[in-house]
Structures are given as structure tokens and as C-alpha cells.
Structure 1
């Protein structure tokens, strides 16, 4: 596992995605590790090289005994960015991670491009955090897990007991009590409120409408002290990336990416590249070669908009979008298009079991006769694909 030494601790980090994309470093909250970003990682990787790390005292990072400081945690972030080769980067941190982001923006602004402070505060009640330290030292992490989950998430989300919720809860129970209380001390002793005016990079403060740990007013206070900072409130509690991942990503991506000036030719070129990626270059090249003056405008239209807009949206990952298209084509009986997308899915490495599962569900919602036709057509294409694979 990749670790970087920062002061008296080894900090665990990893990088995911295309190294040619802009670097985005993510900082976790107290009581979580970098898996708190799992729900949004696939989508963020469409836009960024994503660098995650476990805060000191959490996950696979070391948990030295004693109280930690924001300065130490900020130095850990700097060490991770250096180890990852990110000379400049965007940073998004939630809760404790946001506090680290504020410290970094105040003290190490030269490497930051943009800063996103999620569900965080620049000042908290020191006595409340000392009480939490005393409780965990006396009784362990299990003594506060239900309280923490009730602050991390809305009651409805907790009640659903989803896999994502279980992951966060299990992670909390596995956090070192020594590391957790060390980070509690950093929050207890935080002193950044009067220095926020020194943050000079574009900053967005995200709040949760139902966040009781760091209410919207806490985020508004931060934004009011950072020149030019904006705020946006999401319909969630404290860990919005788990509770409302699509809205969280929409907001994050919109802020961190420069809106491009797109000409119709740009849209066509991007759409053609995406079309070749999804359907296969050979198929698209053959269709392009067959374009006539009569079909040229129509083909350009679908390239610009079906492929240059719909299929380029990162809200759905490709397998989900393929399943949706197959279901729609089956329901409408558009069998030529159905076969096209089955073949494209197989060439892209989608397992036949995914297509089978889609057709079984379609049998319930679209009718057995339609599903039967789908199984016949898809089955032939699957056998043809297997035969071709065996020959190569």
C-alpha cells in the first residue's frame, strides 16, 4: 500500500484515474476513511485524477498517541499531494477534511486551484469535543457510534440501512480510538476563524439542510469570511456524498470544471469520439462511410446530441446507461437498435449475465413475449461473440 511519511506518521493514500486529468484531492471526515468517497468516485474519475487519503489516525494511516493539530493534518495533506506528484490540485474535504482545507488555504495557498469545504465549521464548542474525547477514551468507539450515525445522516437514511450506510458505520467502529481522539483534539483546538480572509483561491462552501453537526449557518459564516466564496445547500445531513451522491457530484463538478465554450463542431467531434468508444470504432467507421447526402444531416444531428450530450453526461456510468437503452429498445420493439447495443455492450466487455438480468427484469415490466424475442436475439449475438473470442 502506498504510504508517505509525514512527521511522526505514515499516511495512506491512493490515486485513481487518468493522470492527464486535473488532480482532485479528497479529505475524509472524522470517524471515516477514504472509502467515504466510494459512492462518488466512479463519476469523479470521469473528470479528475482523484487522490484520496486516510486522515491521520484513521483507516490505514498511522495513529500516533497524543493530541493532533490542524497544522499536522495540513502537513499530511501536503505530503500526500507531493507524493502523488500533484504540483497543483483542487481540494474537497468534508467536516474535519474541510477544516484541514481551511488551514491549507490559509497557510499553503500556492498549490491550490480551487477549494470545496463540505459540511464543516470554522469554530466549534471545545468542551463538547473534550467530552467526546473523554467518552471514547473511557468506553471506546462503540459507545458513540449510534450518536455519530444520527449526526452523519438523516433518520430516513439511517432507517433504510443501505450498504453505503453499513460501510460508513462499520468503518466508524474500526477507527482507532487513539486516532479518533487525536483528531477530536485538533477540532477542539481549531483556530482558523479569524484567518479565513487570507484564503485567496475560488472557494465553495457546501452545507446540508438537515446537518445538525455543522448547520447551514456554520457554512454561511465561513463563506462570509472568505473573499468571493459561494455557498450551496444540499438536501442532506452531514455526509452528503453518501446520502445524495448525484446532487453532490453535480455541484462539485460544476464548480471545479471550467464551463467550456462549445461550438457545434466541438460537439460533433466530442460526440464522434464518444460514439466510437461506446459502439466500437469499426461499426461507427462503417456507418460513417455509408453516409449519403440524404442522411448526412441526420447522422450529424445524432452525433452532436445523442452522443455529444446525452452519452457524455457522467450522471450514469456506462453500464447503467447501456441497461437503460436495452430496456427501452426492448419495450418499444426497436430490434435493430436493440441488437446494435447488445453487440456494443459485448464488445465493451459487459458480461452476458448483465444482459440476462436486464431481460429477466424486462419480462416482468415489458412482457414475456418481448423478453423472449430479446433473449433470442441477444443469445445469438452472445454465441457469435464467444466464437469470435475463441478464434482470436
Structure 2
């Protein structure tokens, strides 16, 4: 597997698609890895050089000490782009990946072409949600990750989809059970501490916001809040819970491709 060597470890990535095509970066949610985008890859690689990576603390990337920040994760993306000699790219991130996208658009906007923010918010939940989760994961390790895996099904997917499509649900929730408990807790802290509500107006990249009508984590109201504050942003509402790219499938892939291609 290709890796980029950062100062404190290795960032795992995959680069697929035509060599001369525009680069599209895909950023995973908390508790998943780059394979959460597998369903999009056949369509996306027809049009783009697709760069997927495992966020620090996830998949095959480094698990460094201490709590992380979204800025740290954003700087990892910039290091990845620099290492691959990519001056500018489209960016599509879901949930935590969407927070990373917001940080990049606010702080390194010159590196982005178009921005897709999926199932995310300018601020996701509160410390009252995150702190008990961090404590339990640090205390119980991988046993806590297994418990979170079971609980995540109801947050990530509608009950109807989970019942009808276990072959699509199971590989994704399995990613959570396999995520490093230390890396997961460190990224929970990053999400907990991120708040871009007052900075959204600085985003200049053309932006598409994707929200799930049945998402209990980052709601349509969260999407509308971002759309109202990012100049020219479009809001796409899909019938899905939190992982809309998996649940909505083609209904996600087609409009995202259309937005990025025109």
C-alpha cells in the first residue's frame, strides 16, 4: 500500500483514475476508512484522479499519541497533496471529513477547486456527547469499539436500509470495530473541539452540501445553516441517514459527479 511519510508516521492512501484527470480527494467519516467510498469509485474514476486516504488514527494510517485536531488532520491532507505534487484538487468529505473540508476551505482555500460537504455540520454535537464516548473508548479499548459498531448501525443507516441491505451495511460497520480505539478517541476530541460556525463566510470554493433527511447526527438543519453562510452553496437533501454515500448510492453519486464536472 502506498504511504506518505509525515513527521510522526505514515499516511495510507490510494490514487486511482486517469493520470491526466483533475484530482478529487475523498475524506472518510469518523470510524471508517478509505473503503467507505468503494461504491463511488467506478463512477468517480471515469472522470477524476481519485485520491482516497485513511485519516490519522484510522485504517492503515498512523496512530499518534494524544488527542488530535481538525487542523492537524487538515494539515495531513496538505502534506499528502504536497507529497504527490498536487497543487489544487476537488475535495469531498463526509462527517469528520466534512469538517476537514471546511478547515481546508477556510485556511487553505487556494488548494481547493470545488468542495462537497456531506452529512456534516459547522459544529457536530456537544462535549456532553463526545466526552463520555471518549472516556469509555479509552477505558474499554476494542470492546468499546465493538459496542459502538452495534450502536452505529442505527445512526449511520435507516432501519429499512439496514434490514434490506446487510451486505452493504456490514462491511462499513466492520470498519468501526477494527478502528484503533486510541485513534478513534483522539479523533472524537478533534470533532468535539471543531467549530466553524463563525468562519463559514470565508469559504470561497464552489460548494455542494449533502444532507440526509433521516440523519440523526448531522441534520438537514445543519446543512441549511452551512448553505446559508457559504456564498453560492447548494444544498442537496437525500433520503438517507448519516452515511448517505452508502445508503443513497446512485442518488448520491450522480449529483456529486454533476456538480464536480460542470
The more displaced of 154-163 and 34-43 is 154-163
Q: Match of 2:68, SS?
A: coil
Q: Is the 8 A contact 2:149 2:174 kept in 1?
A: no
Within the candidate set 203, 208, 218, 2:207 is matched to 203
1:17 CA displacement: 0.7
Q: Is the 8 A contact 2:63 2:182 kept in 1?
A: yes
Q: Match of 1:39, SS?
A: helix
Q: Which residue of 2 aligns with 1:265?
A: none
Q: Which residue of 2 aligns with 1:18?
A: 18
Q: Which residue of 2 aligns with 1:129?
A: 130
2:76 counterpart of 1:76: yes
Q: Is the 8 A contact 2:106 2:202 kept in 1?
A: yes
Q: Match of 2:46, SS?
A: coil
TM-score (norm 1): 0.64
Q: Which residue of 1 aligns with 2:109?
A: 109
Q: Is the 8 A contact 1:10 1:61 kept in 2?
A: yes
Q: Is the 8 A contact 1:93 1:117 kept in 2?
A: yes
Q: State the distance in 2 between where 1:241 and 1:145 align.
A: 18
Max radius of gyration: which structure? 1
Give structure 2 stretches of 5+ with no counterpart: none
Q: Is the 8 A contact 2:33 2:175 kept in 1?
A: yes
After superposition, residues 1-392 of structure 1 pair within 5 angstroms as 1-123=1-123, 124-139=125-140, 140-258=144-262
Q: Match of 1:204, SS?
A: strand
- Aligned-residue RMSD, C-alpha: 1.1
Question: Structure 1 stretches (4+) deviating beyond 4 angstroms?
Answer: none
Q: State the distance in 1 between where 2:6 and 2:228 align.
A: 32
- Ranked by relative contact order (alpha carbons within 8 Å, sequence separation 6 or more), the top structure is 2
Give structure 1 stretches of 5+ with no counterpart: 259-392
1:191 CA displacement: 2.5
1:67 CA displacement: 0.4
Aligned residues: 258
Q: State the distance in 2 between where 1:96 and 1:214 align.
A: 11
Q: Is the 8 A contact 2:114 2:205 kept in 1?
A: yes
Q: Is the 8 A contact 1:26 1:93 kept in 2?
A: yes
Q: Is the 8 A contact 1:25 1:89 kept in 2?
A: yes
Q: Is the 8 A contact 1:15 1:84 kept in 2?
A: no
Q: State the distance in 2 between where 1:161 and 1:246 align.
A: 15
Q: State the distance in 1 between where 2:41 and 2:218 align.
A: 24
Q: State the distance in 2 between where 1:9 and 1:119 align.
A: 29
Q: Is the 8 A contact 1:92 1:118 kept in 2?
A: yes
1:146 CA displacement: 1.6
Q: Is the 8 A contact 2:145 2:176 kept in 1?
A: yes
TM-score (norm 2): 0.95
1:7 CA displacement: 4.0
Q: Match of 1:40, SS?
A: helix
1:241 CA displacement: 1.2
